[in-house]
Copies of this chain bind each other. A is one copy, B any other.
């Protein structure tokens, strides 16, 4: 395994290049007996699909997913679930095999592997994330059976941040705040006109997670979600609960005070983001991810080529001036995969639970 497999028990592996024949995902370790069909996965994939928003790449990909194995008579069989998405709208001629695009992995792939698939960034393309979303959809289905929900949304675009999320509001930017959406759309329009791109932040909440999930010491809930989310190409930072603001707080204000009301354990705050010692306490897991502005811009940029010459370079091809709204779906997928895996691992933490399961 050279990095394309995620998860210990509920695992996903992805394969495929941007302009190869297809991309795909294999989920291994999903429990048997869960109702799953192509429509369920397709609906989630459609939320990430390119070519819809005015701020997303114009590449037209239907991203039709096909389940090739692991589902029989409408239910998961407990064996690997292979999913395939064919690439259709390939325009490889747009790509330049010599120039190193600023902010991209062209240079590092060439160095690491001796050469690279230069067509649309090959394996390092954001297109790979469609396979993650397919895998994540299986995880979401499993989590649904247990009542766990994973919800991500656009928290900020450039300098525009939402106030209070209202999930009845839907828009291209996955930004649940009408006023912020209007401002952000304007900024994105301006960036598009200027041949530039914007970044932003994604918020994610995992609700109704069972208590006791997460494996100390190295596989804490935050640690695994961080690996998962930071493995998304455009994400450069992650923080749980109060996050970086915690650095400026005092223990007396940061500590989440527990109390019992009507026999139920509650907390006055959730500064820790629902995790203590790496383990869930049943309250919502809350984290925020920072997304850099898309590296592909249409402005002319300085860079070098593979002969180590200084050149001027203009990126052709079709790209997203704003990746945040689509990355929302990927963050959700990676969070779902993390939690699904840790839940299955957690089943064996306690002999009473093991006996309940087996005897």
In the complex, which residue of chain B has the Cβ closest to the Cβ of A158?
A: B248
Q: How many angstroms from the CA of A200 to the CA of B250 in the assembled complex?
A: 10
- Contact check, B31 vs A217: say whether CB atoms are below 8 A apart: no
Identical chains in the assembly: 4
A182-221, CB under 8 A of B: which get 1 and which 0? 0000000001000011111100000000111111111110
Interface pair B279/A201, CB less than 8 Å apart = no
Interface hits, A1-59 → B, CB 8 Å:
1-11, 13-17, 20-24, 26, 28-29, 31-34
Contact B255 A295 (CB under 8 A): yes
Whether a CB of chain B sits under 8 angstroms from the CB of A328 is: no
Q: In this complex, what residue of B is CB-closest to A66?
A: B21
CB distance from A194 to the nearest CB of B (A): 8
A343: B residues at CB distance < 8 A: 354, 358
Judging by beta carbons under 8 Å apart, are A217 and B123 in contact?
Answer: yes
> B69, B116, B237: which contacts A237 (Cβ < 8 A)?
B237
If A82-B16, A115-B75, A247-B158 touch, whether A146 touches B210 (CB-CB below 8 Å) is no
**One of B158, B223, B242, B265 near A231 (C-beta < 8 A):** B223
Q: Does A93 contact B (CB under 8 A)?
A: no
Contact of A303 among B257, B346, B354 (CB under 8 A): B257
Contact of A24 among B82, B227, B291, B293 (CB under 8 A): B82
3 closest A-B pairs by CB: A105-B277, A237-B239, A3-B215
Extra 12 A-B pairs, beta carbons < 8 Å, given A22-B82, A68-B84, A112-B349: A3-B217, A78-B349, A103-B276, A112-B213, A222-B230, A236-B273, A251-B294, A251-B299, A251-B321, A259-B303, A343-B358, A344-B354
